Structures are given as C-alpha cells and as structure tokens.
Amino acid sequence: MAALVEEQTGLGDALIKELASIFAEASAKQLQLFGADLAQQIMNAKGDVDRDKVMAAVAPDTGAAPFVGLGSPKHPMNPEQQALWLACAITGMPPNPEADPGNTIAQALAMARDLGRGYQSQALGPASGSGAYTIPEDFIAEIERRAATPAVVWPLINLRPTRRDTVTKPEVTAYPTVNEGTAANSSSVTTGDEITETEPTIEDLTWTMRYFDARYVTKLDLVMDSPIGIYEELLDIITDAFVVSRESNVLNGAGSASSLPQGLLSSGSGITEVAISANPTVAKILELIGEVPARYRTGGRADAIMGSKTYFAVLSQFAQNVRAAQYLLGVLPRMHESASCAEGKILVGNFRYYVAYHNLLMYMVTGIRPQQFSQEVVMVEKWDGQPTITDAFRIGTSVTYDA
C-alpha cells in the first residue's frame, strides 16, 4: 500500500505522517480501512506529526469546487468520515452514502478521480502479481521448538551452595588397619611389644567454580510488538540449553585441565570399569551391580544411567527372562536413560557421592542498549563437580545388542 500511495500521490512517507496526524484519535479498527500494512505505518507515525498543520495542508478550504467546505467548520467530518474519505481518495473505493450525509466524501472521490494520476484497473487474484499480499495470513502465537530436555542426572547428585570461588575439604584416602589375632600386641605380656601403628591418609579435594554463560540480544520492537511472549520463550530456550550442559558435564566433563567439572564417565574420574562385552543379560547386569560395594547400593541408594539403546536392551532382557521379580526387589538400582550417556556404557552407583558446589545457577543479567534499540540478556552459572568416593561407582563397558 505504501508503494501505491507514493506512486499515486508522490507523498510517500510524508503522506503517512499526514494520515497519522489527521487520525490521531482514530482507532486501529478504523484505520484498517487502509489495509493492514498502511494502517500499521499510520499507527507508528502518530506521535511524530503536527495534526493542525497537516489538516490545513491536506484539506484546505479553498472555496473552489469540488473542495468547498471539505473538512471545514461548515461541513466538519468525524474521524470515521475522515478515514473513509482518504481511503476513497487513495484507492478509488466507492463511498458509503450512509456515512456521508453531507456528500462531502463523494466530492472528494470525484476530485481524486479527476486528478488523473495513473489509476489502473486490474483484476487481482491470490496468485496474480502483487495482489497476493491482499489476502491476510494467519499467525499462530506459539514457537515450534524441541521438547524440553529432562534433567536426569542433576537431581541425583549432591548439590551444595557456596559463596566462594574455591572450596577445599579433606578426603580420607586410606583407613587404619585393625590388628587381629597374634598381631594384636595389646594382649602381650611383654612390655616391649608395641601395637603396630597405622594411620589414615588424608588428602585434599578442591572445587574451583567453572563458568558457563550464554548471551543474546533482542530488538526492543520485537519484544514490545511481537504477538507472542518472545522474552519468555527465549528464556525457556536458554534454560533448556543450560540443562543439557549440566547433564553432559556431570557425566562427560574433562576435569580441571579443561576448566570443566570432572565427569563420572571421563577417563580422569578414576572409577573402576567392568567389561560386560556382551548383551546386557540379567546375569551380566547383576554381576555389574554386585561390583558396587554394598554400603553404597543397598537400601535403594544406587541408580544406573545409560543411553537409550542400552536402556531398552536392558529392559528387554529383564522383560523376557525374569519370572520371579520379587527376588530382585531391593537389589536392582533405579534405571534411567540419558542422552548424555554414551551408548554401550552403564554407569551404576550412589550419585550422592558426586558433589557439585555452586555459587550461581541460572543467574540472569539484563539491560537496555539504547544505541542499538535492543535488550541484552546474559545468563551465567558457576559450579564445579567431582566424585568424592570413586568406589561408590562402577562403569559397565562394551555393552552390545542383538541384531
């Protein structure tokens, strides 16, 4: 419509500003007489023009027909008549006599036609040239995106808040040996026999906060004008990205050398691997679970994490081969599938012995960038994690599947 206005009147943006001034009190519904595109431009330009000045320029009371009294105090037009008059003058639409009792709109239409500025008559259809845009399109106020990633591993681990960037705590790496039988010299009648001394070995575990961040910039007119809650939608999307990052790093983080948490499946974790090297039969799974010391797995303390193919291969084995499930109650760990776990591996153990210290989780900083008419959002997390007792876990490897 803007191109048509410019071609036929030579005013272009200037006319749009004039229209905005004239219809300062007109509603958006009334402005739809101009079509959606031009109506929106008029709405946008309303605050930038001088209404009285433009009214005098567009509809002067010259005293010469057919302009006599057009828009003057003698024949005033209400906003609806003004909208209809200009729509008729620009597009050649026939006026509605009921809306124009004083016949001023008919005079204006005759004026527009007499100007002879290259009006063309053309039959427009859905696919005929530029006429296609006259058919309005539907807009569905929702965004198509992938399903939110479930947090599987993160809820299982031991999360601890801190206000520091570094946390250090002692770790017992070797326990005292109890002397037994003849080695227990406390029963000796010889005063020179001493009880053999053994001491625990205590070392340090250190967590150094690792940074995770994301940033995006959104134009303010998109935030303000979008028919969907674009700001909330973007926050949902970025939240999902952080969930994926957490899950992956708890399992696969390369450790301090890469400024990342220490992942349980990473080679630097020091967790014992048990080669299954076969289909995950019930016997093989029970054998793997039995490798975890009872103090870490009994009483429902253990969980098992595996990739989707491995997960369903294990379920298939139990579904086909277990006839007396009651014997497995309290023995089998809770089993979960995770997209972050490599296929062919099963991680089983007590995840409370993976400790993550954090001082920022999903911390959001937002601000306006006036020079770019944009809103900027930065999301930051600071956390570090590692297993505190590697003996609480076992990794089953080389799991295969039936063809």
Decide if pLDDT at 394 tops 70: yes
Q: Is the separation of the CB atoms in 262 and 385 below 8 Å?
A: yes
| Residue 67 pLDDT | 34
Q: Place 118 in a pLDDT band, splitting at 50, 70 and 90.
A: very low
| Residue 58 pLDDT | 43
Type of residue found at 82: Q
Q: Place 218 in a pLDDT band, splitting at 50, 70 and 90.
A: confident
| Residue 296 pLDDT | 93
Among 53-57, 96-100, 292-296, where is mean pLDDT lowest? 53-57
Among 153-157, 229-233, 281-285, name the most confident range. 153-157
| Long-range contact set of residues 7-16: C-beta below 8 Å, sequence gap at least 24 | 7/118, 8/90, 8/117, 8/118, 8/119, 9/90, 9/117, 16/41, 16/42, 16/45
Q: What's the rounded Cα separation, in Å, for the pair 42 and 15?
A: 9
For residue range 79-97, what is the model confidence (pLDDT) as tens digits?
A: 555 555 555 555 555 555 5
pLDDT over 70, % of the chain = 65
Average pLDDT for residues 243-260, to the nearest whole number? 95
- The interaxial angle of helices 36-45 and 2-9, nearest 10 deg, is 80
Compare 402 and 172 and report the one with higher pLDDT.
172
Q: Is the separation of the CB atoms in 304 and 336 below 8 Å?
A: yes
Compare 304 and 142 and report the one with higher pLDDT.
304
Average pLDDT for residues 57-62, to the nearest whole number? 41
Domain ranges for the chain: 2-121, 166-208, 230-397
Among 193-202, 302-311, 359-368, where is mean pLDDT lowest? 193-202
For residue range 95-111, what is the model confidence (pLDDT) as tens digits?
A: 555 555 556 555 555 55
| Residue 271 pLDDT | 96
Q: Is the separation of the CB atoms in 253 and 376 below 8 Å?
A: no
pLDDT over 90, % of the chain = 33
Q: Is the separation of the CB atoms in 249 and 385 below 8 Å?
A: yes
Decide if pLDDT at 146 tops 80: no
| Residue 97 pLDDT | 55
Average pLDDT for residues 370-386, to the nearest whole number? 92
Average pLDDT for residues 280-294, to the nearest whole number? 91
| Residue 330 pLDDT | 75
Decide if pLDDT at 358 tops 80: yes
Compare 402 and 268 and report the one with higher pLDDT.
268
Q: Place 305 in a pLDDT band, splitting at 50, 70 and 90.
A: very high
Q: Is the separation of the CB atoms in 22 and 54 below 8 Å?
A: yes
Mean pLDDT (the chain) is 77
Q: Place 41 in a pLDDT band, splitting at 50, 70 and 90.
A: confident
Q: Place 274 in a pLDDT band, splitting at 50, 70 and 90.
A: very high
Decide if pLDDT at 318 tops 60: yes
| Residue 250 pLDDT | 97
pTM for this predicted structure? 0.62
Compare 119 and 146 and report the one with higher pLDDT.
146
- Cite the beta strand spans of 109-154 per DSSP E: none
Q: What's the rounded Cα separation, in Å, for the pair 270 and 264?
A: 8
